[in-house]
Structure 1
Amino acid sequence: MTHADDINTPAGDEPAGESPIEEVILDVEVVDEVDTESLEEAAKEVEEDLDELTLKTREADEYLDLARRTQADFENFRKRAARDAAAAGERGVSKLVGELIGALDNFDLSLGAVAQLPETDPAHSVGQGFKLIRDQLIAGLERCGVEVEHPEGQAFDPARHEAVTKVEADGVEANTITAVHQAGYLLGSTVIRPARVSVAG
Structure 2
Amino acid sequence: MNDRPESQAGAPESAPVEPAAAETPQAEPQEQEQVEQDLAQLLAEAEAKRDEYLDIARRAQADFENYRKRMAAEVQAAALRGKAEVVRGFLPVVESFERALEHAGIDGDADPSDEADATKQGWLLTYRDLTRALASAGVAVVDPKGEKFDPNQHEALSMVQVEGAEAGVVVEVMQKGYQFDGHLIRPARVVVAS
State TM-score, norm by structure 2. 0.72
Given that 1:176 and 1:199 are in contact with CA atoms closer than 8 Å, whether structure 2 keeps it comes out as yes
CA–CA separation in structure 2 for the residues paired with 1:103 and 1:46: 86
CA–CA separation in structure 1 for the residues paired with 2:129 and 2:75: 30
* Offset from partner CA, 1:57-82 (integer Å, 9 cap, x none): 11111111201221231132123213
What secondary structure does 1:76 align onto? helix
| Deviation for aligned residue 1:184 | 0.6
Given that 2:165 and 2:193 are in contact with CA atoms closer than 8 Å, whether structure 1 keeps it comes out as yes
Identity %: 33
What secondary structure does 1:114 align onto? coil
Q: Are 1:136 and 2:132 matched, yes or no?
A: yes
State TM-score, norm by structure 1. 0.70
Q: Which runs of 5+ in 1 are unaligned?
A: 1-26
Given that 1:160 and 1:191 are in contact with CA atoms closer than 8 Å, whether structure 2 keeps it comes out as yes
| Deviation for aligned residue 1:40 | 2.1
2:107 counterpart residue number: 115
* Offset from partner CA, 1:34-60 (integer Å, 9 cap, x none): 432321232122122112201211111
Q: Are 1:176 and 2:169 matched, yes or no?
A: yes
Given that 1:182 and 1:197 are in contact with CA atoms closer than 8 Å, whether structure 2 keeps it comes out as yes
Q: Are 1:54 and 2:47 matched, yes or no?
A: no
2:76 counterpart residue number: 86
1:198 counterpart residue number: 191
Aligned-CA RMSD value? 2.8
Given that 1:114 and 1:127 are in contact with CA atoms closer than 8 Å, whether structure 2 keeps it comes out as no
Give the paired residue count. 171
Q: 1:156 aligns with which of 132, 149, 153?
A: 149
| Deviation for aligned residue 1:108 | 2.2
Which amino acid in 2 is paired with 1:98?
R
1:99 counterpart residue number: 89
Q: Which runs of 5+ in 2 are unaligned?
A: 1-17
CA–CA separation in structure 1 for the residues paired with 2:119 and 2:161: 36
